[in-house]
Amino acid sequence: MELQIRGVSKTYANGVQALKDVTLTIPVGMYGLLGPNGAGKSTLMRILATLQTPDAGSIRLGAIDVLKQQDDVRQTLGYLPQGFGLYSKVSAERLLDHFAVLKGIGEHRMRQDVVGSILQQVNLWEVRKQKLGSYSGGMRQRFGIAVALLGNPKLLIVDEPTAGLDPAERVRFLNLLSELGEHSIVILSTHIVEDVSELCTRMAIIDQGQILLEAEPLRAIDGLRGRIWRRVIAKDALLALEREHAVISTRLFGGRTLARVYSETPPGPGFEPAEPDLEDVYFSTMAGHIGRRGEQKETAVAQ
Ligand code: ADP
């Protein structure tokens, strides 16, 4: 099964064009949709979750026409929105049971089995009797996934799920998504590059409503080999460096600045070749050096 998004555009009533002719093909597995705040990620996620309609375009999930057969999509969809609210005074087990009733799992024994197995899957079984108000950020996110899993979704959409999680919780949460990606389409929308680099088998970079790059993370990184250079400079030398070179990112490094530069040929004395990473892919794409915006076309980097 594949999710096929073709030519989707959306302009809000205030004139903001949130999506511009978005075309993506998303297979089973974990797919990262990476972009800065305001890029259009949530708009696309809400459209896929049938909560909003686009002005143009078509979307198919396998045989289902997502824009026309909304009930069929909802049957097979799990959606974890950004910053969802939870009742804080009930236990995870009770609330999940309640949602299971709403999902139509009426028979008590069966419901117990389903709720129990999902709580184990998201690793909340031990704390199932605790009130949700006492849960940490990571536990709440995993409870959100538990709710999304009730319908046994073929398409799971999670919008900015790792914001505010501590590193251990983040890793545990991403591992859970990656397990789910073995059998379903899992779309992870995020502005955090490491979320994508660790587990996503495919990704797209979106900015100002447009898809700038669609790629496999490892291949995109490989495509940058030989084109990323680094140099340690004094802080006040940055402006001069930027005038001469395509500086894609800077990091502080022992009180000095470590600049990374995109260049297809050696940029000159003082630079050393750097091992490219997904941050380089992201910043080079955002700056237009690679991807659909730059002249170095996607085929050269991503295919
Ligand atoms: P992201 O999830 O990548 O941060 P969004 O999809 O939330 O991006 O927003 C894309 C653009 O659309 C932004 O410029 C945002 O301000 C605008 N936008 C989002 N929702 C609405 C809305 N309901 N009405 C008007 N503009 C909106």
Atom of ligand 1 nearest to the CA of 12: 25
Query: Does some domain include residue 125?
Result: no
pLDDT tens track for 234-280: 888 889 999 999 999 998 878 789 999 999 999 999 999 999 999 99
Q: Are residues 158 and 282 in the same domain?
A: no
Is 243 part of any domain? Answer: yes
Residues 280 and 159 both lie in one domain: no
Q: What is the pLDDT of residue 298?
A: 44
CA distance 184 to 174: 15
Is the domain of 211 the same as that of 235?
no
81: confidence class by pLDDT, cuts 50, 70, 90: confident
Q: How far apart are CA 99 and CA 106, in angstroms?
A: 11
Distance 219 CA to ligand 1 centre (A): 30
Give, for ligand 1, the residue of 12, 158, 160, 208 to mutate: max count of ligand atoms closer than 8 Å to Cβ. Answer: 12
Quick one: which of 45, 50, 108, 106 has its CA closest to 75?
A: 50
| CATH code of the domain covering residue 206 | 3.40.50.300
Residue 48 is assigned to a structural domain of this protein: yes
> 36: Cβ below 6 Å to ligand 1?
no
Total domains in the fold of the chain = 2
Give percent of the chain with pLDDT exceeding 90.
Answer: 69
Measured in angstroms, how far is the CA atom of residue 187 from the centroid of ligand 1? 18
pTM above 0.95, yes or no: no
Q: How far apart are CA 93 and CA 71, in angstroms?
A: 27
Ligand 1 atom closest to residue 14's alpha carbon, by position in its atom list: 25
Q: Are residues 188 and 244 in the same domain?
A: no
**Segment among 31-40, 78-87, 152-161, 202-211 with least mean pLDDT:** 78-87
The answer to whether residue 238 is domain-embedded is yes
Note whether 243 and 181 are same-domain residues.
no
Which band of pLDDT confidence, cut at 50, 70 and 90, is reported for residue 293? low
DSSP state of 30: E
DSSP assignments along 234-292, one per residue = -GGGHHHHHHHSEEEEEEEETTEEEEEEE-SS---TT-EE----HHHHHHHHHTTSBSS
Place 300 in a pLDDT band, splitting at 50, 70 and 90. Answer: very low
Q: How confident is the model at residue 296 (pLDDT cuts 50, 70, 90)?
A: very low
**Mutation pick for ligand 1 pocket among 16, 44, 157, 160 (CB with most ligand atoms within 8 Å):** 16
Report the pLDDT value the prediction gives residue 294, as an integer from 0 to 100.
55
Take atom 20 of ligand 1 and give the residue whose Cα is closest: 43
* Model pLDDT, residue 135: 92
Ligand 1: which atom is nearest the Cα of residue 191? 3
270 and 209 together in one domain? no
User: Do 236 and 196 belong to one domain?
Assistant: no
User: In ligand 1, which atom is closest to the CA atom of 42?
Assistant: 2
In a domain, 184, yes or no: yes
15 and 64: one domain? yes
CA distance 268 to 95: 62
**Poorest-pLDDT segment among 1-5, 9-13, 78-82, 260-264:** 78-82
Torsion of Cα atoms, 81 then 159 then 16 then 64, to 10°: -80
Q: Per residue in 207-240, pLDDT tens?
A: 999 999 999 999 999 999 999 999 999 888 889 9
Q: Does residue 206 share a domain with residue 251?
A: no
Q: Are residues 60 and 165 located together in one domain of the fold?
A: yes
Question: Quick one: pLDDT at residue 131?
Answer: 93
- Would you give the end-to-end CA distance of the chain in angstroms? 21
Answer yes or no: do 191 and 281 share one domain. Answer: no
- Domain holding 15, by residue range, is 2-76+153-215
Out of 14, 20, 33, 42, mutate this one to test ligand 1's pocket (max ligand atoms within 8 Å of CB): namely 42
Q: Is 170 in the pocket of ligand 1 (CB under 6 A)?
A: no
Asked whether residue 55 carries a pLDDT value surpassing 90, the answer given is yes
CB of 210 within 6 A of ligand 1: the answer is no
35 within ligand 1 shell (Cβ under 6 A): yes
Does residue 65 sit in the same domain as residue 161? yes
Domain assignment present for 87: no
Report, as an integer, the average pLDDT of 129-150. Answer: 90
Q: Is residue 117 part of a domain?
A: no
Domain end among 196, 215, 234: 215
Measured in Å, residue 265 CA sits from the centre of ligand 1 at 39
Residue of 37, 43, 45, 207 with the most ligand 1 atoms within 8 Å of its CB, for mutation: 43
**Range of 51-55, 179-183, 235-239 with top mean pLDDT:** 51-55
